[in-house]
Structure 1
Amino acid sequence: MELSTLEIEKAATILKLLGDKTRLSMLKMLDSHDYCVCEFVEIFKVSQPAISQHVRKLKDAGLVRETRRGQWIIYSLNKENDVYPFIQSLIHHLPNQDFKLKELEQQGLRISCN
């Protein structure tokens, strides 16, 4: 589905979902790197259940997918979703969030899933 044919209702649902600063930040971050929930917990300084709730909402909307690597569940942006071009056009305008990952690495909190 192209951006021009994206239904208004679907767009409104996505925009409502991304109206939350944490979820919007997560999507921007996932555009360049994959993350584990525990990394998001450290970055956003909120509880694991709260982060899991945010991730679940993004996953239920098909915007995020999960992959199991050993004991870890790694989340990535679902670039194959039919609304990805719409998402990409939105997050393109957001400031880069890679500094958050660098801060995690400096604190020794970046998860190594290899």
Structure 2
Amino acid sequence: MSEALIEIENAATILKLLGDKTRLTMVKMLDSNDCCVCEFVEVFKASQPAISQHIRKLKDAGIVKETRRGQWIIYSLNKNSDYYPLVQNLLQHLPNQDYRIKELEAQGLRISCE
């Protein structure tokens, strides 16, 4: 599969979005786990509106997609995005964030949407 080139301006927009530590961490978490907003609220000790704002920006850029499971909206990386190869390349240079999910599980705060 040949990778499409991204316009410099679009790449700059994506990199600017991911230049935010919270959003970058969220995307890294989503690299190996699907999450809902309430889980991010716990992990980052941030308000639900603040987390939703981050998610909205990532969603608008096409980096993240949402899936509805019953009453839950679950977020995951959008692997069909033109920007996915760029994001994926960036993420491989970052430390794994799975410990954050394990901490949630240990506190009984991991959402089970099944």
TM over 0.5: yes
Listed as ranges, the matches of 1:7-86 within 5 Å are: 7-86=7-86
Aligned length in residues: 113
TM-score, with length taken from structure 2? 0.96
Residue 73 of structure 1 aligns with an amino acid whose one-letter code is I
Residue 3 of structure 2 aligns with an amino acid whose one-letter code is E
Q: Give the corresponding residue for 1:99.
A: 99
Q: CA RMSD in A?
A: 1.0
Structure 2 gap ranges (5+): none
Identity, in percent, stands at: 76
Give the 3-state SS of the residue equivalent to 1:82 in structure 2: coil
Hey, which bits of structure 1, 4+ residues long, moved more than 2 A? none
- Aligned mates of 1:104, 1:30 — CA distance in 2: 14
- Aligned mates of 2:22, 2:3 — CA distance in 1: 26
State the Cα distance separating 1:83 from its structure 2 match.
Answer: 1.1
Q: Give the corresponding residue for 1:109.
A: 109
State the Cα distance separating 1:2 from its structure 2 match.
Answer: 2.1
Structure 1 gap ranges (5+): none
Residue 74 of structure 2 aligns with an amino acid whose one-letter code is I
TM-score, with length taken from structure 1? 0.96
